[in-house]
Structure 1
Amino acid sequence: MKTIAIANQKGGVGKTTTAINLGTALAAIGQKVVILDLDPQGNASTGLGVPKAERTCTSYDVLLGDDRLSSAVIQTSVPGLSIVPSDVELSGAELNLADDQRRSYRLKMALADYRQELEANDDQCDYVLIDCPPSLNVLTVNSLAASDAVLVPLQCEFFALEGLTQLMRTVDLVRDHLNPNLTIQGVVLTMYDSRNNLSGEVAADVREFFGDKVYQTMIPRNVRVSEAPSMGKPVLLYDLHCPGSKAYLSLAKEVVQQERADTSKNENEPA
């Protein structure tokens, strides 16, 4: 089970859109995926068609230890894709966990229990994708402390690199103090507009800085991607043949290929 935090401290860069549609695309190519909605706005839950009335057990309950993560998992309309929903109560997590000395590890412990339950039931989950809030708070820290890697959606606009620098500092701090094994899974360029010179310049700058950590797939600006959440659907269900759907399928294939290459590399390294 690979746990990936989808994070960027800058808002509006496509974190939730990437969580929903990458999760859907991974499921479409045969992976079993759980999206963990850790944003109090609950947009990932809404975008996957989970009504607020059905969010009786949420990521808030899991963080506080009131429920096991397995109890909060809801199957979506996409075969192979489940979600742990969120609601506005999650905004109170910082206050409620203030006196807990292990508050930064609550999600890590919940995921460890979930992994044990899956193994005991001879079940599996290939990926857990955590949709992080656009801020550095106890929720984001829990996500990074619990994850194997960080996937960074990066908008192809002027201030993108500034936000990325802040995120890298946060990742370094978490690696130093909470999770020494945390890695950068990759950077995915979002809202790319081939007609806009600035998009090309930002993409070139990011590739120069991060090299092969930047996915070849770029997510284009596409009105169908923007419309899909209002219908409670990922874009692959809303319009399979639009450029956005094709891009997320391509990104999913890159993620899986990267995982297989990393696994093969580790197996071939001398003990």
Structure 2
Amino acid sequence: MRIITFANHKGGVGKTTTVVNTADILSRWGKRILVVDMDPQGNSTLTLGRKDPFEHQYTIGHLLADKELSVADCAHSVNGNLDLIPSNLHAYSQLALLPPNSAKRIFGLREKLEAVRGADNGYDLVLVDCPPQIEGPLITNAVAASDVYILPVDGESLYALQGTNHLIQAIEAIREDTNSDIRLLGVLVTMYNPRTTASRLVMDAVREFFGDALFQTVIRRNTTLNKANLSQQSIFDLDPASFGCQDYQKFATEMLSRVETGQKP
């Protein structure tokens, strides 16, 4: 079981879209996938959970705050190969009730996921959707638990790299403080439009900054992806022939290759 965090300190960079669609595609390929929604906005929960985030009995807040609850207790079945640990805005208040020195603020997710590692009919991959922030118990739990992280960046924003180094340094600090082995698996450019000067400039800047860490796959801007998000569907459900679905299948293949071979950027 490999645990992959998707993180960016900015919102609107395609992080949740990437988590949801990559998880859906991998599950269709026969991989056992768990999505952990660490973002109290609950956007992954909205798409995969198929109901209001507040209607789920247990969420990530319950899992981290209650030592008696297990991953199996909190996991919502999306399909035969895909499970979801939901999230909603109550996660903030649930974690706020923990004592300041509580280990659950740092190691709660790691401990719960370690309990299912290697289990019969266990998960091949865990994909963690993080909130758009650099610090706090949610991002700390995600980093402490994960083997690798992926950084999605907005392919149309000239400010795509702004603050990125700060995020990487923050993750490195959490890694050292928690004795985690997390490392960068790669950088994914999303919402890329090769016809615009802005996208070409962003791609050049990201390639120069990250080098081999950049995934060869890019996620092109595609109206079908927007429609899928608005209708709370995966791109495969809405239009498997679309550019968006093709791009995410290529990304899923490339991501799996890096994970399985232990490729380092």
TM-score normalised over the length of structure 2: 0.92
Matched residue of 2:123: which SS? coil
| Offset, 1:230 | 2.8
| Offset, 1:182 | 1.1
Q: Classify 1:11/1:98 alpha carbon distance in 2 versus 1 (closer, same or farther; 3 Å).
A: farther
Contact persistence 1:49–1:231 (CA under 8 A)? no
| Offset, 1:227 | 1.4
| CA distance in structure 1 between the partners assigned to 2:10 and 2:55 by the alignment | 30
Q: Which amino acid aligns with 2:18?
A: T
Q: Which amino acid aligns with 1:130?
A: V
Which residue of structure 1 lines up, in the alignment, with residue 176 of structure 2? 176
Q: Which runs of 5+ in 1 are unaligned?
A: 266-271
Matched, 1:89 2:90: yes
Which residue of structure 2 lines up, in the alignment, with residue 199 of structure 1? 199
Q: Which amino acid aligns with 1:15?
A: K
More deviation, 101-110/227-236: 227-236
Which residue of structure 1 lines up, in the alignment, with residue 114 of structure 2? 112
Deviations 1:10-38 (A, max 9, x none): 11111111110111122222211110011
Q: Which runs of 5+ in 2 are unaligned?
A: none
Q: Number of aligned pairs?
A: 259
| Offset, 1:93 | 3.8
Contact persistence 2:143–2:174 (CA under 8 A)? yes
| CA distance in structure 2 between the partners assigned to 1:180 and 1:63 by the alignment | 18
More helix by share: 1
TM-score normalised over the length of structure 1: 0.90
Q: Which amino acid aligns with 2:59?
A: T
Deviations 1:220-267 (A, max 9, x none): 11111111133231111111111111100000000111122228x9xx
Deviations 1:186-222 (A, max 9, x none): 1100110111111111112211222221111101111
Which residue of structure 1 lines up, in the alignment, with residue 262 of structure 2? 262
Contact persistence 2:32–2:125 (CA under 8 A)? yes
Q: Classify 1:114/1:205 alpha carbon distance in 2 versus 1 (closer, same or farther; 3 Å).
A: same
Deviations 1:162-190 (A, max 9, x none): 13122111111112211341100111001
Contact persistence 1:47–1:228 (CA under 8 A)? no
Which residue of structure 1 lines up, in the alignment, with residue 71 of structure 2? 69
Q: Classify 1:179/1:204 alpha carbon distance in 2 versus 1 (closer, same or farther; 3 Å).
A: farther
| CA distance in structure 2 between the partners assigned to 1:26 and 1:253 by the alignment | 9
| CA distance in structure 1 between the partners assigned to 2:195 and 2:176 by the alignment | 41
Which residue of structure 2 lines up, in the alignment, with residue 138 of structure 1? 137
| CA distance in structure 1 between the partners assigned to 2:246 and 2:75 by the alignment | 27
Q: Which amino acid aligns with 1:196?
A: T
| CA distance in structure 2 between the partners assigned to 1:70 and 1:94 by the alignment | 20
Which residue of structure 1 lines up, in the alignment, with residue 167 of structure 2? 167
Contact persistence 2:143–2:180 (CA under 8 A)? no
Write out the 4+ residue segments of structure 1 that deviate beyond 2 Å after TM superposition: 97-101, 229-232
Q: Which amino acid aligns with 2:223?
A: V
Contact persistence 2:146–2:180 (CA under 8 A)? no
Q: Which amino acid aligns with 1:125?
A: Y
Q: Which amino acid aligns with 1:149?
A: V
Q: Which of 124, 138, 142 is 2:122 aligned to?
A: 124
| CA distance in structure 2 between the partners assigned to 1:132 and 1:4 by the alignment | 11
| CA distance in structure 2 between the partners assigned to 1:239 and 1:54 by the alignment | 28
More deviation, 158-167/214-223: 158-167
Which residue of structure 2 lines up, in the alignment, with residue 8 of structure 1? 8
